[in-house]
Structure formats: C-alpha cells, structure tokens
Amino acid sequence: MRPEERLIIVTGTNRGIGLAVGRQLAQQGYRVLLTSRDEAKGQAAAASLRHATPHVFYHPLDVTSQESIARLRDFVGREFGRADALVNNAAVCLDDGRDVLDVEMDIFRTTIETNVFGPLLLCQAFIPLMREQKYGRVVNVSSGAGQIANMVHGKPSYRMSKIALNGLTLMLAYSVRGTNVLVNAACPGWVHTDMGGPAAPRSPEQGADGIVWLATLPDGGPSGGFFRDRKPIPW
Ligand SMILES: NC(=O)c1ccc[n+]([C@@H]2O[C@H](COP(=O)([O-])OP(=O)(O)OC[C@H]3O[C@@H](n4cnc5c(N)ncnc54)[C@H](OP(=O)(O)O)[C@@H]3O)[C@@H](O)[C@H]2O)c1
C-alpha cells in the first residue's frame, strides 16, 4: 500500500515534537490526521503543513476525554475507514523540580489521566481496526525519565506515568502478537520544546525522527521494544 493510502493519527500536534512528527510523515507522503485539544491552535498548525502536502487532516482531541476519543474514532471510521498508525505523543509534565514526597494527588491524577489513560483509551479505540486490517503501528512516546534502569528522583508523577506507559506498551505488544500490529515505545531524547525547555540540545525534528521510523516500520519489524535514535534502550 502506498503512503498516501495510509492514515496516521498523531496526538498533541499543535506544537513541539508532535508537530514535527506530523510534518515528517506528511513530507514522506502519508495521510496525517493531526489532533489537539485547542482547535484554533491545531488548525493553524495543520495549515502550516498543508503547503508541503495535501494529505494533512485535522480533528480536535482531548486525550483525557472518552467522549472526545469516541468522536475521533467515529470521524476516522466515517471519513477514512482505516487507521494505519497511532502516535501517542500528547503528554503533560506538571511536576518538574518536585519531590515524590511533596507532589499533590491532583497533579498525579492529571498526569496519569493524560499520559497513560489517554494512550490506553486511544489504543482501545483504534487497535481493533488495525487488527481487522492486519496492519497497524502504535508508537507510545515515552521518556528516559521512565527508565527503571536509570531511576532517580524529580518529576515523580511524570516518571510514574512513563513507567506505566512502558508497561502498557509491553502488554499491548503481547496482546496483538502475530497480527502485524507493532507496538513500541520511543524516547525522543532531550528536545527543545515547551516541555524540554530552552537548554535542550535537540530540535523537535531530531526528536521526531525515531518516532516516525517506528510509525512506519515495515512488516516483520520490532514490537514490544523501547527505542531512542532507532536503537533499543533498556526499560
Ligand atoms: N521535550 C523533551 O525533552 C521530551 C523528552 C522525553 C520525552 N518527551 C515526550 O515527547 C512528547 C512530546 O513532548 P513535547 O516536548 O513536544 O511537549 P510539549 O511541547 O509540552 O507538547 C505537548 C503536547 O501535548 C498536548 N497535550 C497535553 N495535554 C493534552 C490533552 N489532554 N489532550 C490533547 N493534547 C494534550 C499539548 O497541547 P496543549 O498545547 O493544548 O497543552 C501539546 O500539543 C511527550 O510525550 C513527552 O513526554 C519529551
């Protein structure tokens, strides 16, 4: 199947790494469905990519809302009838500089709702379609902050959310084994975005590269892995 026949859904594309992922996929000729919780910002971002390719689409999505996810699922079914890849990029980091003993529960709740339940609900919405198609790629955008192998302190709710997202990645990969649906986690590295901050050495385009690679893996590619710069890293 040619790239322009595929549909790739990316969450949190109004800025940062998500927008760079959308741009690179569009440049490779894929049909890209951009999403954001703020429609005006998301539409503006989509418009900024359309000069390069006609295959850029947009729909609002708040990953913390089941109703919003159901509306996206209906839209995709009606307009495209397929979903070839899902990039779970949208996330929050609300507790930079905080210690695990001090963080309020509402910060933990919002972070887990956004960074874990959001991707889980989106997978529940779209993986059944991928299974039917016998083709699907899921990329959970994780972080080195979630690596048990290197666990330190700071950003406790963010770290816990990425540990959970990594566990979810492994469970999903097991659940869909043998179906040509490949599920992986990606760390983009430390990237200069609103979340990464101005001192980060990587551009959003550099951070997006490994995510785009996983979203477009050939049949027989890896599943149930954690990657940075297209190379496996420890959980
Ligand atoms: N930057 C880094 O150094 C770094 C390192 C490791 C991993 N990551 C991961 O890379 C991914 C992208 O990060 P980034 O640096 O590009 O962050 P960012 O610039 O803060 O962008 C985050 C995106 O997520 C969206 N988002 C947040 N909550 C949402 C919700 N409830 N529904 C829909 N969208 C929502 C934001 O939309 P709004 O504009 O509406 O808030 C924004 O588009 C995240 O998963 C992050 O954990 C980043």
Residue nearest to ligand 1 atom 46, measured at CA: 91
Residue by residue, what is the 3-state secondary structure of the chain? Answer: CCHHHCEEEECCCCCHHHHHHHHHHHHCCCEEEEEECCHHHHHHHHHHHHCCCCCEEEEECCCCCHHHHHHHHHHHHHHCCCCCEEEECCCCCCCCCCCCCCCCHHHHHHHHHHHHHHHHHHHHHHHHHHHHHCCEEEEEECCHHHCHHHCCCCCHHHHHHHHHHHHHHHHHHHHCCCCCEEEEEECCCCECCCCCCCCCCECHHHHHHHHHHHHCCCCCCCCCCEEECCEECCC
pLDDT given at position 52 = 76
pLDDT given at position 116 = 99
| Residue boundaries of the structural domains of the chain | 3-232
Q: Residue 194: is it exposed, middle or buried by C-beta count within 10 angstroms (0-12/13-18/19+)?
A: exposed
Residue 30: count of CB within 10 angstroms of its CB: 25
Task: Quote the ligand 1 centre to 75 CA distance (angstroms).
Answer: 23
Task: Quote the ligand 1 centre to 178 CA distance (angstroms).
Answer: 31
Supply the residues annotated as catalytic: 158
Phi, psi of 146 (to 5 degrees): -100, 10
pLDDT reading at 16 higher than 80: yes
Mean pLDDT (the chain) is 97
pLDDT reading at 227 higher than 80: yes
Q: Which residue has tokens 């960074």?
A: 115
Assess contact for 87 and 119: CB atoms under 8 A. Answer: no
pLDDT given at position 143 = 98
Residue nearest to ligand 1 atom 37, measured at CA: 12
pLDDT given at position 65 = 98
Residues of the chain with pLDDT > 70, as a percent, come to: 100
Separation CA 43–CA 49 (nearest Å): 10
pLDDT given at position 54 = 84
Residues of the chain with pLDDT > 90, as a percent, come to: 97
Tokens standing for residue 80: 């495209």
Task: Quote the ligand 1 centre to 14 CA distance (angstroms).
Answer: 9
Separation CA 206–CA 40 (nearest Å): 26
pLDDT given at position 67 = 98
pLDDT reading at 134 higher than 90: yes
pLDDT in tens, 40-58: 999 999 999 998 788 999 9
pLDDT in tens, 194-215: 999 999 999 999 999 999 999 9
Tokens standing for residue 115: 């960074």
Confidence of residue 9 (pLDDT cuts 50, 70, 90): very high
Out of 117, 195, 205, 206, give the residue to mutate to test ligand 1, the one with the largest number of ligand atoms within 8 Å of its CB. 195
pLDDT given at position 51 = 82
pTM (2 d.p.): 0.98
Residue nearest to ligand 1 atom 39, measured at CA: 14
Phi, psi of 180 (to 5 degrees): 65, 20
Assess contact for 36 and 45: CB atoms under 8 A. Answer: yes
Q: Are strands 85-88 and 231-232 parallel, antiparallel or unpaired?
A: unpaired
**Quick one: 3-232 is in which CATH superfamily?**
NAD(P)-binding Rossmann-like Domain (3.40.50.720)
pLDDT given at position 153 = 84
Out of 24, 87, 89, give the residue to mutate to test ligand 1, the one with the largest number of ligand atoms within 8 Å of its CB. 89
